[in-house]
Structure 1
């Protein structure tokens, strides 16, 4: 099922919801459709264009959410789906400083890696095997990462995410250092 970007009344991105939830918001007059996906939803008496981006009519106060949570999906989005050691297709998660040697499971110590590099590195430090990281790992910043890190992306969302750091986020996803 497609997903829809939900914006606050101030155009701040709030999150991504399933299409069905977005349609309910629009039909109950709680949100307005800013972008349509091109598809149509049919009922017995109506045909409604399926939204891609909706904006709430009333401002919703959102409490401080803290840093972007470290999830596998967000990590692969941050690293562009590429191994941080060889640049190949990443299939696993690796700790730069191994957990067996006191490394933490935090953004600054976790990278995406291919299975071969992860197996070769094992529980050793990079200096022990003479390897270097392609980019220094860092926690993602900006509201756009909360949306992009979900793994759901639509090109129609980009203009609404750009003021909130989407350019940097997408550049990192595409493998270009921002």
Structure 2
């Protein structure tokens, strides 16, 4: 068995037998899938895994040899990091660097903690806004907050994709980034 010590944060994209993206696994797990003939390497990463007798290029993308039926989650989990990733780490009000999250319709007034009511905000805008709505201040959102969509969000969540995965994931900029 190869000595597998990948760089921190590395992983491999797993494709179904039909080339549909399924998930991201550790390089160790991907190598085990390839060695056990449960998957084939479609794209190599940087480096080589060595054992006493063999050398295996580090897998970046692997494809399962048998089709697996997987029930998908219908929603993307709401987290602070995912909100920042969706909004590009920019304030929804002034487009400056965001360091807080804000509820567009304040929770103190019955606003929900949901994708369509939460945005990334800079501390200054968040403090100034307080328990008011943007309309009460004469502000406008640069983009409407929405639930993230697409294969990349379903498979990766808020993780940064490896550029070698672009052929299998839809990595276009989200529509919410366009100026409203």
Deviation of 1:173 after TM superposition, in Å, equals: 9.0
Asked if the contact 1:80–1:173 (Cα under 8 Å) also holds between the matched residues in 2, the reply is no
Instruction: State the Cα RMSD in Å.
Output: 2.0
Which residue of structure 2 lines up, in the alignment, with residue 144 of structure 1?
152
Structure-1 separation of matches of 2:105 and 2:176: 25
- Structure 1 residue runs of 5 or longer lacking an equivalent are none
Asked if residue 51 in structure 1 is aligned to residue 53 in structure 2, the reply is no
More helix by share: 1
Q: Tell me what 1:133 maps to.
A: 141
Residue deviations 1:52-83, cap 9 Å, x none? 11111111111141112212232222111111
Q: How many correspondences in the alignment?
A: 172
Larger Rg: 2
Q: Pick closer, same or farther for the CA change 1:49–1:57 going to 2, 3 Å.
A: same
Instruction: Compute the TM-score of the two structures, normalised by the length of structure 2.
Output: 0.87
Inter-partner Cα distance in structure 2 for 1:176 and 1:38: 35
How far residue 100 of structure 1 moved from its aligned partner, in angstroms, is 1.0
1:172 aligned residue:
174
Alignment of 1:72 onto 2:74: no
Give the 3-state SS of the residue equivalent to 2:114 in structure 1: coil
Summarize deviations over 1:79-114 as a string: whole Å, max 9, x none: 111111111111221111111111111111011111
Q: CA deviation at 1:31?
A: 0.8
Q: Is 1:105 paired with 2:105? A: no
- Partner SS state of residue 36, structure 1: strand
Tell me, yes or no, if the aligned pair for 2:40 and 2:65 is still in contact at 8 Å. Answer: yes
Of residues 112-121 and 23-32 in structure 1, the stretch that sits farther from structure 2 once superposed is 112-121
Q: What is the deviation of 1:172?
A: 2.7
User: What per-residue deviation string (whole Å, max 9, x for no partner) do you get for residues 4-41 of structure 1?
Assistant: 11111111111111111111111111111111112111
Alignment of 1:21-60 (within 5 A): 21-60=29-68
CA distance in 1, matches of 2:16, 2:164: 17
What TM-score results when the alignment is normalised by the length of structure 1? 0.88
- Post-superposition offset of 1:147: 3.0
- The gaps in structure 2 that reach 5 residues or longer are 1-7
